[in-house]
Amino acid sequence: MGSMRLLVLGGTHHVGRAVVEEALARGDEVTTLTRGVSGPSAPGALALHADRTDPAALRAALGDATWDAVIDTWSFAPSVVLDSASLLADRAGHYGYVSTRSVYEWPPAVGLDESGPLVGGDARSTEGSDYAAAKRGGELAAIEGFGAERTVLARAGLILGPYEIVGRMPWWLRRLERGGDVLAPGPPDLKLQYIDCRDLARWMLHAADEGLSGPFNTVSQPGHATMASLLEAGIEATGSSARLVWTPPEVIESAGIEPWTELPIWLPPYGEALGMHTGDVTKVYAAGLTCRPVRETVADTWAWLQAEGDPPARPGRPAHGLDPEREREVLAGLAGG
C-alpha cells in the first residue's frame, strides 16, 4: 500500500505527526506545511514553511506542486481552511479534514450517528475562539473550497496515543508512575470511546486511497477500553506499584472535582456527557477503521514520554490533572467512610 503524494497541513504534533509517520512507513511521498515553530517534521518528509493565515505566503510556499491527497489538521478560524482548500482544489484529488465530534450540538445523544444535529458554523469566519463553531466552520470551508464529493470529515472523539500534547494520557501515566493510592474514577467497567492517533491516521490515508467522502465519527466502539483496562495498562506500562482506589462518581462529584480536565478522559456514567463515550461508529467501521488494543496505545505513549519528555504546557489552554492534595483528601474521606 501507499505511493501517493500526500500534503499534510500541520504534521509536527499529535495527529499530524502520526499521519506523516504512517504515510512514510507505507511508502507515500510526504510534504508538510507548517510555520516551523513547533519542531521539525519527521525525517523523510519534505518540510515547507508558511503561515497559513497569510494566503499569499501559503501560495508561495506550495508553488505549483500537485498532490493526490491533502490532510488538514487546522482547528482555528475556518477562513484559513477555506483559503487552503480553494487553493488546492485544482491541485489535489482528496481533502481529509481532521474534525471533531464537538460539531454536534451539546449534549450529544447516546448512540448519536453522523445525522445528529450540528452547531452553527461559517466557512468564511475569521474567528476561532469558539472551538465547536470553528470546527464546524472548518468542515463547511473544506466542502466549499474543495467539493463535498472529494472531502472527508473525520469527526474524531477523544484522541490518545503517542505525541499527545493535550496531556491527558501523559498526566495519568505520570500519576501512576508516582505510585501509592491513586484515585481511580469509577465504575471500573465504565466504557470508553477514543481513537489512537495512529489508527486515525491510518484510516484517513485509507479514506484517501478509497476516495471516500462525507462525515465519519472516527472513534473506537464504545467499550473498546474501560476505565479499568486503561489504568491497568498504565500500571503495566510504567511498572508502577500504584494501587487503584475505585471511587464512585457521586463521591467525585460531591468533592467538586471536574470530570475530563481534573480527571482526564473520565466522564461520569450519567448526565449530559453520557453521549461522549457512546457515539455510533457503524459507518466508520464499515469503511475500514480498525483500532489497536488499549495496552498498545498506553505502552507506546509511555515509550514516547520516556524518549521525548513531557509535552510543554499549552498557553491559553487548561492544564489537565488533579492536585495531589485534593486527591489525598478525597481518598482519606473514602477510607474514613
Ligand X SMILES: NC(=O)c1ccc[n+]([C@@H]2O[C@H](COP(=O)([O-])OP(=O)(O)OC[C@H]3O[C@@H](n4cnc5c(N)ncnc54)[C@H](OP(=O)(O)O)[C@@H]3O)[C@@H](O)[C@H]2O)c1
Residues that bind ligand X (CB under 6 A): 10-16, 34-38, 51-53, 73, 75, 98, 100, 135, 156, 158-159, 166
Nearer to ligand X, 182 or 219 (CB): 219
Least distance (Å) between residue 136 CB and ligand X: 11
Nearest distance, CB of residue 52 and ligand X, angstroms? 4
Which residue, 72 or 232, is less far from ligand X as judged by CB? 72
Q: Which cell is 82 given?
A: 477555506
Query: Which helix (H) or strand (E) covers residue 285, if one does?
Result: helix 282-286
For 203, residues 6+ apart whose C-beta sits below 8 A from its C-beta are 154, 218, 284, 287, 288, 289, 290
Task: Between 13 and 202, name the residue whose CB sits nearer to ligand X.
Answer: 13
* Shortest reach from residue 84's CB to ligand X, in Å: 9
Going by the DSSP 8-state scheme, the letter that residue 104 receives in this structure is B
Residue 62, CA atoms < 13 Å, CB-side half-sphere:
27
Q: Which is nearer to ligand X, 196 or 327 (CB)?
A: 196
Closest separation in Å from C-beta 73 to ligand X: 4
Q: What minimum distance in Å lies between the beta carbon of 215 and ligand X?
A: 13
Q: How far is the CB of 262 from ligand X (least distance, A)?
A: 16
Query: Judged by CB, which is closer to ligand X: 14, or 94?
Result: 14
CB of 20 to ligand X, least distance (A): 9
Contact (Cβ atoms closer than 8 angstroms) between residue 73 and residue 47: no
User: Which stretches does DSSP call E strand in the chain?
Assistant: 5-9, 29-34, 46-49, 69-72, 95-100, 151-156, 158-160, 181-185, 191-192, 194-196, 214-218, 225-226, 243-247, 259-260, 263-264
In this complex, which beta carbon is closest to ligand X, that of residue 142 or of residue 182? 142
Q: Strand pairing partners for 155? A: 99, 217
Give the chain's radius of gyration (CA, Å): 20
Which of 18/235 has CB closer to ligand X? 18
d(CA 276, CA 269): 10
Is residue 155 a contact partner of residue 217, using CB atoms and an 8 Å limit?
yes
Contact 8, 71 (CB under 8 A): yes
- Of 223 and 311, which CB lies nearer to ligand X in the complex structure? 311
Query: 3-state DSSP call for residue 78?
Result: helix
- For the bound state, the minimum distance from the C-beta of residue 37 to ligand X, rounded and expressed in Å, comes to 4
